[in-house]
A and B are shown apart, each in its own frame.
Chain A
Amino acid sequence: MILALVVVTALGFDFTNGFHDTANAMATSIATRALRPKTAVALSGILNLIGAFLSVEVALTVSNAVVRIQNADGTPKESLTTDGGTALLLIVLAGLIGGIVWNLFTWLLGLPSSSSHALFGGLVGATIAGLGWAGVNWNGNGTKLDGVVGKVILPALISPVIAGVVAAVGTWLIYKATVGVAARFTENGFRWGQIGSASLVSLAHGTNDAQKTMGVITLALIAAGDWTDTKNIPFWVKAACAVAIALGTYLGGWRIIRTLGKGLVEIAPPQGMAAESSSAAVILASSHLGFALSTTHVATGSILGSGVGKPGAQVRWRVAGRMVATWLITLPAAAVVGALTWYLGNFVGGVAGAIVIFVLLLAAATGMWLRSRHAPVDHNNVNDEWEPVPASAPAPSEKVAL
């Protein structure tokens, strides 16, 4: 029973992950009208689906980066599985709930925050609540980049800067290289350049992020004794995760797309291409070098950089500042939700506790969704001028279902 709730909640997290991160790949193409909004999210959704199926490798040890609930080979710690895995399942469930709640809350505010930080934050919080401070892998063991500091905090500080520098240099050089070239050549060229680079980002996102949820679900299955193979993932888990992330991507977090595409910088096609190329290169190079990072931080850094690199472009630093503030509190905020959820679930106890926190999650999600209806953002008004906020925006029809 608890296992079923964990699986459903993990798929829910995967869905919000896709939904939250559509903007990373597609905000620029939508803002420059290289692609129609619906086409962009459909393309990104399909590429995420393909990307998720491409991840044959097992990401079972995903939680080891931040918490100590698994052994090095991916099997759950024996101390947590004595009562049919309930102890571990409750930590994972509470952690996932922390991640989802924070993802939905930042979506409501239209802020691009990192889904992996939300997941890690939730797990850290639930682990502190369940196992104490020592259950968290803060600093690794000093032999490689690891732990909360090495896998989460340092990359979050460094990766947006790198992406920003790359995008700024790229933008500046692209403008230099195409000075005086007729618009009929640049428009079409940069359109394809943007679509190509954004597609790479989507594909890379599908392989990276869907894998995390697959790892979490498989961990839960092993803890509950329903799966024993640490080298493979059940096919239905892979298929379900791929579909969840693709659906989430397709529905599109329009609020976040709007902030990234219109809020930070007025993006022109050459900037869009420079930003997405920078994102793709930085994401792939980092993952090649085993440097964990968040797609969201990279994409935001790239878009900012493309604003810095274009002569005379305006960057809304106030919006950027709000985003950075959100990044800083993502991990602790998701951790607090995860911890409180664990305490509540543990207080009620057993299956009933898991049901109670699951119902609370549904209530919170519904509440935030209803709140979002007061000022809907969807594919119709995603590209409206950023300021002043259009008072006369046509009331869009119901499209962003959750």
Chain B
Amino acid sequence: MSNFGFALEGAWKVLAAGLVLGAGLPVLFALGIRSLAWGADAAAPRPAGKALAYGLFAVVILGVLLGLTYIVASGFGKTISFDHFWPAIVDK
């Protein structure tokens, strides 16, 4: 296969991962903010909104931790495998 083929093959994977992590996580974060604002109604506070917000923030933080783990792991010559769906640190 030529360089061009390899590049296209990599490109759509990067685009997919980018959309899920790079656009999806910020949107969850934004929804968390919305939920937080919705729950903090001064007249009638809605605890559910706050709970949902923290749930969404937790998902975002997990995503960030995944990124951090990857950076640290790659520094040690390891990488993260998604072979079993759950991320696992393996040798490169």
**Residues of B6-23 contacting chain A, CB below 8 A:** 6-7, 10-11, 13-15, 17-23
- Alpha-carbon separation in the docked complex, A57 to B4 (Å): 28
**Residues of A194-231 contacting chain B, CB below 8 A:** 196-197, 200, 203-204, 207
- Interface contact B27-A170, CB-CB below 8 Å: yes
Q: Which of B13, B23, B72 contacts A274 (CB 8 A)?
A: B23
Say whether, besides A54-B75, A57-B74, A170 and B26 are in contact (CB < 8 Å): yes
Q: Which of B11, B40, B80 contacts A288 (CB 8 A)?
A: B80
- Alpha-carbon separation in the docked complex, A274 to B26 (Å): 6
Is A166 an interface position by the 8 A CB rule?
A: yes
**Residues of A29-57 contacting chain B, CB below 8 A:** 51, 54-57
Say whether, besides A178-B33, A193-B26, A204 and B71 are in contact (CB < 8 Å): yes
Which residues of B are found within 8 Å of A55, using beta-carbon distances?
Answer: 75
Is A132 an interface position by the 8 A CB rule?
A: no
Is A253 an interface position by the 8 A CB rule?
A: no
**Residues of A119-175 contacting chain B, CB below 8 A:** 139-140, 142, 144-147, 149-150, 154-155, 158-159, 162-163, 165-167, 169-170, 173-174
**Residues of B48-71 contacting chain A, CB below 8 A:** 64, 67-68, 70-71
B interface, how many residues as a size bin? Answer: 35 or more
Q: Which residue of B lies closest to A172 (CB)?
A: B23
Q: Which residue of B lies closest to A285 (CB)?
A: B17
User: In the assembled complex, how far is the CB of residue A304 from the closest CB belonging to chain B, in whole angstroms?
Assistant: 14
Say whether, besides A155-B7, A277-B26, A163 and B74 are in contact (CB < 8 Å): no
- Interface contact B14-A282, CB-CB below 8 Å: yes
Which residues of B are found within 8 Å of A155, using beta-carbon distances?
Answer: 7
- Alpha-carbon separation in the docked complex, A4 to B20 (Å): 47
User: In the assembled complex, how far is the CB of residue A271 from the closest CB belonging to chain B, in whole angstroms?
Assistant: 10
Which residues of B are found within 8 Å of A51, using beta-carbon distances?
Answer: 71, 75
**Residues of A289-343 contacting chain B, CB below 8 A:** 289-291
- Interface contact B37-A207, CB-CB below 8 Å: no
Is A286 an interface position by the 8 A CB rule?
A: yes
Which residues of A are found within 8 Å of B71, using beta-carbon distances?
Answer: 51, 54, 200, 203-204, 207, 284
Q: Which residue of A lies closest to B11 (CB)?
A: A158
Which residues of A are found within 8 Å of B20, using beta-carbon distances?
Answer: 281
- Interface contact A140-B3, CB-CB below 8 Å: yes
Is A287 an interface position by the 8 A CB rule?
A: yes
Which residues of A are found within 8 Å of B19, using beta-carbon distances?
Answer: 165-166, 169
Which residues of B are found within 8 Å of A197, using beta-carbon distances?
Answer: 26
- Interface contact B68-A200, CB-CB below 8 Å: yes
Q: Which of A144, A181, A270, A282 contacts B18 (CB 8 A)?
A: A282
Say whether, besides A185-B37, A193-B26, A285-B21, A207 and B6 are in contact (CB < 8 Å): no
Is A116 an interface position by the 8 A CB rule?
A: no
**B residues engaging A (CB < 8 A)?**
1-4, 6-7, 10-11, 13-15, 17-23, 25-27, 29-34, 36-37, 40, 64, 67-68, 70-72, 74-77, 79-80, 92
22 example contacts (A-B, Cβ-Cβ < 8 A) are as follows A54-B71, A57-B77, A147-B3, A150-B7, A158-B7, A166-B18, A166-B23, A167-B22, A170-B26, A173-B27, A182-B37, A185-B36, A189-B29, A190-B33, A200-B64, A277-B22, A280-B67, A281-B23, A284-B67, A285-B18, A285-B22, A288-B80
| 7 nearest CB pairs, A to B | A281-B22, A170-B23, A54-B75, A285-B17, A150-B3, A166-B18, A281-B21
* Sample of 4 further A-B pairs with CB below 8 A, known A167-B23, A181-B33: A159-B14, A182-B37, A284-B67, A284-B71
